[in-house]
Amino acid sequence: MSKPVPLCVDLDGTLIHSDLLLESFLLLIKRNPLYLFLVPLWLLGGKARLKAEIASRVQLNGAALPYTQPLLDWLKTEKAAGRPLWLCTASDVRLAQAVADHLGIFDGVLASNGQLNLSGRNKAAELVKRFGDKGFDYCGNHRVDLPIWQQARSAIVVNAPPSLEGTAAKVAPVSLVIPPRKVGVRVITKALRVHQWAKNALIFVPVAAAHKLTDAAALTDSLLAFVAFSLCASSVYLLNDMLDLEADRQHHSKCNRPFAAGSLSLMFGLLATPALLAVALAICLLLPLQFLGVLAVYYIATLAYSFGIKKVVMVDVLALAGLYTIRIVAGAAASHIPLSFWLLIFAIFIFLSLAIVKRYAELYVMREQGKLSAKGRGYHVEDLSILQNLGTASGYISILVLGLYLNSPEVAVMYHHPKFAWGLVPIMLYWISRIWMETHRGQMHDDPLVYALKDRISLATGALAALVLWLAV
């Protein structure tokens, strides 16, 4: 009886919907951004050395990778039938071994070792040396695999475009095709978090508060600021999601984010991140210099949040409140409107309450799943009660600030019928109380500001508040 033909499996883009070089690079940068300056020096020694240097400094969690499930299921069936499986990859051997150890189905690992980059013809030569010409089947996903398929008995084409299937068939019999997942506009807009742009509507608050909604110049500047801020925010979202891959993959909902799920290439993110920022900066040329300064502060603060602040208990929610508030500051800078002390202090307290809502909602889900803490956040489920107390207190303090403002001399100048404006107090008391009630019941599944823009009762409350202000004017 003849021995079964070994089945050799590529890793990047084939066994997983990702690239371990890019994954490990992001882990390295998250650990210490200063490594960016060493990467070019390592690359001078070749790709194999670059991969080895990065792999020696990071620790890969083999369980937290987006595997190609149809291929993995088939491999397990082949393994159960007695077929030898080999993991053959251009990734560094340390990272490849972490994947093999996690899956426990491979008989051996062939990978780059610091001197040899095991890709394309190098991989083909190594497989022929070990198994002989036509002595193995090979699973691949890229044109670089064509020299390997040429030496293989048959080709298994995985996650590749239809054109590659036809090209592979010219050099080897194609025994199995596992089609790629579709990547459409919806996946890209999800990665850019276009729905989160709604939060940038806060940029229009200074124009509305100053009663300049009919001022075409102020509105135009605010609109440009909105676009610039949204593109900048998307740039940060992409970077944040790429740096947070492992934590997101262990989260109940964030695991569906495009990068975490492997439905969008990390290379797309690495290219789109600076491109979006560049367009945002170009728009800033049309706006006052102060707006560029505020945008720069926002970007730096968000990076600081991504690289470490979000892991520090309570500092993270204060930072989130600041990032919400800075949108109002940006709107004022773009439209040349002086900032009101009352508006800023109200914003800090209301946004702190909403930031705590966000953390409370995440911890609530952790508790329902039987987990004791939020991965990468520093909070424990027993913190729920104190978070609720802090959040509701902050929300009610914001209403107190609103009441004090309505009793200040500034209101008499801004409104002809200021007594109508007092209707804002019970409206806001109702809204913040309802938000916390929904959160306490586990019904807050989104960013609270985005939730408010989708929730019919919140929209009705906002419309009522607008009516009250119109009557006051």
Give pLDDT tens digits for 408-464.
877 767 778 878 888 999 999 999 999 999 999 888 876 787 788 788 999 999 899
Report the run of H or E that residue 256 belongs to, with start and end. none
Lowest mean pLDDT among 116-125, 144-153, 301-310: 301-310
Question: 274-285: per-residue pLDDT in tens?
Answer: 999 999 999 999
Region 347-361: mean pLDDT is 93
Nearest residue to 346 via CA among 266, 400, 420, 383: 400
Give pLDDT, residue 1: 47
Q: With pLDDT > 90 as the criterion, what percentage of the chain qualifies?
A: 66
**Whole-number average pLDDT of the chain:** 90
pLDDT at 280: 96
Distances (CA, A) of 403 to 164, 346, 460: 67, 10, 21
Q: Is the CATH number of domain 7-178 3.90.550.10?
A: no
CA distance 229 to 327: 8
Cβ atoms of 432 and 350 closer than 8 Å: yes
* Mean pLDDT calculated for residue range 362-384: 75
pLDDT at residue 362 greater than cutoff 90 = no
Q: How confident is the model at residue 372 (pLDDT cuts 50, 70, 90)?
A: low
- To which residue do tokens 């997942």 refer? 181
Q: Which pLDDT belongs to residue 281?
A: 95
| 238-to-34, 130, 271, 311, 312 alpha-carbon distances in Å | 20, 42, 10, 19, 22
* Window from 123-132, 225-234, 239-248, 422-431 with minimum mean pLDDT: 239-248
Question: What integer pLDDT is reported at residue 108 of this predicted model?
Answer: 95
- Mean pLDDT computed over 281-309: 91
pLDDT at position 472, please?
Answer: 82
What's the pLDDT score for residue 377?
A: 63
What pLDDT, in 10s, does the model give residues 41-96? Answer: 999 999 999 999 999 999 988 888 999 999 999 999 999 999 999 999 999 999 99
Q: What digits encode the pLDDT tens for the residues 151-175? A: 999 999 999 988 998 999 999 999 9
The closest alpha carbon to 378, from 392, 365, 362, belongs to 362
Closest CA to 152 of 177, 132, 176, 179: 132
What is the biggest distance separating any 2 CA atoms in the chain, rounded to whole angstroms?
97
Looking at residue 249, its pLDDT comes to: 86
Please give the C-alpha separations between residue 51 and each of 58, 92, 93, in angstroms, as whole numbers: 11, 6, 9
Rg (CA), the chain: 27
CA distances from 361 to 256, 321, 358 (A): 18, 16, 5
Strand ranges inside 113-260, DSSP E: 137-140, 154-158, 174-178
Residues of the chain above pLDDT 70, percent: 98
